[in-house]
Amino acid sequence: MTALAPIRLGTRRSALAQAQSGHVADALAAIAGRPVELVPIVSEGDTNRASLSEIGGTGIFANRLREALIAGECDILVHSLKDLPTAVPAELVIAATPQRADARDVVITRGGTPLHELRHGSTVGTGSPRRIAQVRRRAPHAEVVDIRGNVDSRLERVSSGELDAVILAAAGLTRLGSETTLRREELGLTEWPTAPGQGALAVETTADAPAELLDALSRLDDLDTRIAVTVERAVLAGLEAGCQAPMGAHAVVTGDSIRLRAVVYEPGGGRRIGLDVSEPLNRGYIRRNGSGNGADAADGADPVRTARELGDSAAHRLLEQGAADLLP
């Protein structure tokens, strides 16, 4: 790449993907002093309209993009981290996790009735197995409708009266700047943990990317976000469950400690197995630019490694309590 050559950012074609990629592109251009151009790529998840609960969600939004990156069709990718498989190909590296947005889910209704107070037989739309199980626990009297589609189409199904409610990610609504007269109910992360990595983005590039690109990307990285999502994704990996598994995990870094809340749900919503744990973090570190592994501490302690170990330990504890019986 020449000094003035644009950085090619591969992204899905959806409005949300374009919006969040645009935010990263603007930030990266300011850091690198080079233009960043979006390269739209069509993923399997964009063309296969079957239910996510039927086809499984592992990699359907990411695999084609990763193929394009490895083939040299683009220089970097921006993913919604919750859609990204936990296994990273050897040729690639997650070079940055920018500061996380709101990780909560929200219920969208016409009149503002809380989810648990919706009348008997109300229709609630979502295509996520986790959200389906959570709705069945929170509002067992409601009817869950398995849906796909972009944010605007889901909002329209509520506005038109076709559905009484839909469950959406708060971060997506914010990034799109969606304006609506519909009412929203924020769902607390303690009782309603969301998908591992929800609200966070992952900027991925090749492991042999130019040093100047890796350096620029490292300046987009937020360490607290990387630590938190590392814990959550380690739980998912330890359970050997895909991105669409009926489980939620949310971690938050506060000072020198990290707290994790993880729950595995029975698909029908009847049972759940959960835990809530905290772990101290060593904050002394030296950043290793472009490593994709976050930070190395000067005294040998690595907060990202600690996070990974906490997530792996949590997964083992969930399995010991019978979580494998609830996972597909």
Catalytic residue ranges: 82-83, 130-131, 148, 154, 243
Contact 155, 166 (CB under 8 A): yes
Burial pattern 67-87, b for ≥16 Cβ within 10 A else e, equals: ebbeeeebbbbbbbbbbbbbe
Distance, CA of 137 to CA of 185 (rounded, Å): 17
What token pair was written down for 256?
A: 């020198």
Kindly state the DSSP code that residue 316 receives in the 8-state scheme. Answer: H
300: buried, middle or exposed (CB in 10 Å: 19+, 13-18, 0-12)?
A: exposed
Nearest Cα to Cα of residue 279 among 261, 302, 258, 262: 258
- Where residue 59 falls (left for φ over 0; alpha for ψ -120 to 50; beta otherwise) is left
Rounded CA gap, 32 and 266, in Å?
47
Tokens of 86: 């936990």
Q: Residue 25 contacts by C-beta under 8 Å, 6 or more apart in sequence?
A: 9, 36, 37, 38
**Three-point CA angle 180, 186, 187, nearest 5°:** 145
